């Protein structure tokens, strides 16, 4: 059984908003739990809530990768996020994301190099899409949703904006000749995207994690082929 080290954000960690508990919590049916249950692979999970690609660059040299066959890199969802509080207060000014697109591409390239310096296979993962009609009301809670929509132009702008980061993952994988796991594509194949997400429109629920598990199961043999 192969061993994969995963560096990513809360999606990689298996976190979702659970309405019955009124908070974010780890899913009992996360893709990681399913992988363990079905003995698909060993996963060393270094993902954490709110992480951006710079966090991965900082964390990777500190982790022991002995016995690891591949390093999966799953960022973008937080990198593309601006300050909704500032947008709410001033919708007529530009508010940058946490990581601008050029920096995101450069930092992804850096983390691929760091993985290869340790003699490991790097796998880049595209971020799953957002469900915009849930996401915008969620991030607008306690803020001025009218101002946020005015800044965006339309609610689905957040989907298009995040999509640029998914395309950037493709670009870096191509330029570095790195393995690509296009997780986003597996979500987009589903007929009703909203069924795969919790109320916030950004974190997959257990049905979404079932899709992630099935995607890993399908892609793993190809990703581990030289």
Encode burial over 41-52: b for 16+ CB neighbours within 10 A, e otherwise.
bebbbbbbeebb
Q: Quick one: tokens of 96?
A: 């940058």
- Confidence class for position 180, pLDDT limits 50, 70, 90: very high
Query: For tokens 């399913």, what's the residue?
Result: 34
The CATH number given to 3-223 is 3.40.50.1110
Q: What is the pLDDT of residues 12-31, one digit of tens each?
A: 999 999 999 999 999 999 99
Task: Taking residues 181-206, report their average pLDDT.
Answer: 97
The number of C-alpha atoms within 13 Å of 190 and in the hemisphere containing its C-beta is 22
pLDDT at 167: 98
Give the pLDDT score at 221: 87
For the entire predicted model, the pTM comes to 0.95
pLDDT at 73: 98
Sheet containing 121-125, strands listed edge to edge, beginning at the edge strand earlier in sequence: 42-45, 3-8, 70-74, 121-125, 179-181
108 pLDDT band, cuts 50/70/90, is very high
């Amino acid at each position: 059984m192969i061993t994969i080290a995963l560096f990513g954000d809360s999606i990689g960690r298996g976190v979702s908003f659970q309405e019955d508990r009124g908070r974010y919590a780890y899913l009992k049916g996360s893709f990681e739990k399913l992988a363990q249950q079905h003995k698909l692979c060993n996963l060393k999970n270094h993902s954490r809530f709110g992480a951006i690609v710079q966090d991965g660059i900082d964390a990777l040299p500190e982790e022991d990768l002995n016995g690891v066959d591949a390093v999966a890199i799953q960022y973008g969802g937080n990198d593309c996020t601006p300050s909704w509080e500032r947008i709410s207060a001033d919708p007529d000014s530009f508010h940058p994301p946490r990581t601008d697109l050029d920096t995101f591409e450069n930092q992804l390239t850096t983390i691929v190099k760091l993985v290869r310096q340790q003699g490991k296979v790097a796998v880049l993962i595209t971020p799953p899409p957002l469900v915009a009609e849930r996401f915008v009301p969620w991030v607008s809670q306690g803020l001025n949703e009218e101002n946020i929509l005015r800044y965006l132009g339309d609610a689905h702008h957040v989907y298009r904006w995040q999509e640029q980061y998914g395309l950037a993952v493709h670009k870096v994988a191509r330029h570095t000749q790195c393995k690509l796991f296009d997780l986003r594509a597996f979500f987009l194949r589903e007929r009703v995207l909203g069924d795969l997400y919790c109320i916030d429109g950004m974190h997959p629920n257990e049905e979404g994690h079932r899709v992630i598990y099935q995607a890993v199961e399908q892609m793993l043999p190809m990703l581990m082929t030289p």
